[in-house]
Structure 1
């Protein structure tokens, strides 16, 4: 979206006022600076008594504004100072303030008389004839007292103002461009930092830890459960559990050199994990997995969802004697897959959520391992898709937690996957 600059964004009004006052004192010309709508942004400098008297009547004031508007428009059209005759018979000038071809306003100056022969060489700043003040002695007397100069001096004054205005604009534009470059450098540094952190994490086997996210605690429970089932009942459930566990192992091992999977593959891995946990926890665990068929072929980083599901089991289901429910859904909203992992556990305090996501949360045993998995998953999502696609965690104490992950429908090849 294009941001429209205002004249006050480019020029310091206090500095401009001082320059304008000094210019008027040195030349005797009146001056004021207006925005592109013609509204004054500075105080009038050296405004003539003649013009002050003329503008007391609204009809005359309207004619003055029309003259100023004509001069400003002409200077904006040409991009150069415009010198013209106002309806009151005085010489005025308009110096445009331009940025990259855009008219932001003008310095209006003048209110002086010049030789009649020179006046004939100037255009009128209005479509109307000159206003006749011959029947108003007060105005005519003030007209006679108005400063008289030469066209050469008026042009020199216009050139001086044009040079000053351009200098102020160019100086401030350089400052703005430098500031924009500085901000872009900061953004680039943040991206480089994030990329370095992710790559360092991968090199330090953080991704391996994700691939082996089935931590010792879980493996111990699985093996114990398989042993009890084999001892106490027939082979069907034991076989089912072994198959699910084998599929999980196969999934983690075959993806060792390929970190991209379809959402369907990732969800099948989560299904296997939940089916094993269901056998272990029995009626204490209820779960639901629903995936929109349109989302199944979307590519995502390997082990995107499982760390959050494991976190729900460890912190929401296991500590509760009555157990609980975990729901995993994947829906399509325009060109984005919206993944949600929802549990009805005890919830997470806000301060802990921030620490988990930025990797500063520390705890003992399995809790710490899960935090690492969530932080890594969050960093990888932001690395591959940008900061707008990080993990969002909403939680209410004693009511549950909702994890939201957004995955765009686009290739991940550009990020080295």
Structure 2
């Protein structure tokens, strides 16, 4: 388009004169030169693309040299085409002017045109390279995020499957204790309840979140197993506002805390032990506390057991620094406090 416009512009003197009729040799000459100039422009584009890979200084110098060579060549082509076409039609082309003067005039015109074209090509190549670099960077970030997401899912699955054997081991130990103490009917009932518990709680996606209400139902089902063993010695209280029942959290997150309260608080005690679960919203944070009041509780403050360590690791994997577990050893009892972002299922 640029070269066609230039060819038309060069014809304006012929058009404005208007008394010589249609000057076919002039039209053919100017548009022939424009066509050659267009071809040289594509050549310059290819050269500019290659020169950009040589570094800024070398590439710029090489592009400048290419502009000079192409402009000089086209200046010579312009003279040859004009003389040849006009000679073909038996016409003289302008006054007798020295070749050097003609060439230098053409060279001055073409070098300015090719300089503008080279700058435009260089700018477009730079912008395209920057856009491609940004796209590749975004793709790398996306792939890294996907890889991190897959790694987190694998980690969560591993933690969940680590937790399941831990839970089963503790429960089977409870059943074994019932058998040893000749409580065979209770042991059989506990086995049946365990089978039902596993069927309803462990069949789903281990990485899928569930509501706080669903987690509390899981805890109640688990304590149903332990009540067979401990009877009236186990007392449970749950304090959860209705507005938080649909709050989301990782599946099976609170059960290990309740299991620890039973194992370290209720099992060593000969008296009744109360386990209290409370949930509160503190701004954008969900806070759930699991507490027991056993005077002989032997859980350590650092929480070195599998259950507490597993809860900490899962909170970190899902929420990063926004999810954490705090433990408090008291003179009479132990408190585990879970803090995580307050989230609800999307509509």
State the TM-score, normalizing by the size of structure 1: 0.41
More strand by share: 1
State the TM-score, normalizing by the size of structure 2: 0.48
More helix by share: 2
